[in-house]
Amino acid sequence: MNDRLKFAAFGAGLVVLFGAALGIGALVGDPAEPASGTTDHSEHQADAATGLQDSLSGYTLTDLTAPADPNQQGALRFRITGPQGAVTQYNTLHDKNLHLIVVRSDASQFRHVHPELAADGTWSLDWKWAEPGTYRVFTDFSPVGGPGELVLSKTLNVTGAAVDKPLPPVAKTAEVDGYRVTMTGDLTTAGSELKFTVTRDGKPVTDLQPYLGAYAHLVALRSTDLAYLHVHPEGEVGKTPAGPDVSFHAQAPSDGNYRLYLDFSHGGTVHTAEFTNATTTVASSDAPAHHGGGH
């Protein structure tokens, strides 16, 4: 996929743009939950940039249902409607027609999955909630004949007494499934490089496996409102070394805390390393130069 825009340009109607060689992104907008059909143009533009709207550019996330109780097996279902009704044709984005990101309001219980599409435009997959609480469901897709890539989201409430977990402290290392992932760099408001180094048993992992067309994927959520950012690494599968280092370029709009989720594949399994990062303001002259678009 050709290099495109960075995430701060989403006011034009795009929330996330993939880049084959470089991922650049930013999160902008009012942290308040937007109301569908708002007539305030500036508010609409800002909220569009976060993925927090359920309707944008003539497309709407609708009919979202899931099990109501924790540990209840069922299906998570939804549809995307557009100007001509239910959308049934999608462009492929990194090996999939739609990416589903689900996370609880306290930034815990993160999941990145891929539902199945029925002929009538209904997306679904088997589902079970581990804990009660309010969850945000992000749909990341590109409808055939549409304006490009869109991210729409809605919230679902899971019954029970929910206890929000405090945001984990800022840290540069994460342990997951026997792997240690070390992060170098920080999100900044001017744009910066983030490098992740994957090791196992003290040895560098140099045979990362392609996952959705890349050696890793990075999702960042702003802790105050779960504003959504998805970036892809520098380099290309088959041309860039398959570890232990994977680098990204990303840009944040403001100081604050963000929760980062790094998906990588090794040993035939996808692993997710999670980090909390405190974003800082850096003068633009100190930031690395941009070299192309991203997601």
Please say whether the dihedral angle defined by the alpha carbons of residues 50, 140, 53 and 55, taken in this order, is positive or negative: positive
| pLDDT score of 231 | 83
pTM of the model: 0.80
Whether residue 189 contacts residue 253, with contact meaning beta carbons closer than 8 Å, is answered with: yes
Mean pLDDT of 193-221: 96
Whether residue 145 contacts residue 10, with contact meaning beta carbons closer than 8 Å, is answered with: no
Q: What's the chain's length in residues?
A: 295
Strand extents, DSSP E, 105-141: 111-113, 116-117, 122-127, 133-141
- Domains along the chain with CATH numbers: 29-158 (2.60.40.1930), 173-286 (2.60.40.1220)
Instruction: List pLDDT tens digits, range 225-268.
Output: 999 888 889 999 999 999 999 999 988 767 789 999 999 999 99
Tokens of 263: 């998906």
> Is the model more confident about 95 or about 2?
95
For 166-188, give one letter per residue: b (16+ CB within 10 A) or e. Answer: eeeeeeeebeeeebbbbbebbbb
Whether residue 226 contacts residue 13, with contact meaning beta carbons closer than 8 Å, is answered with: no
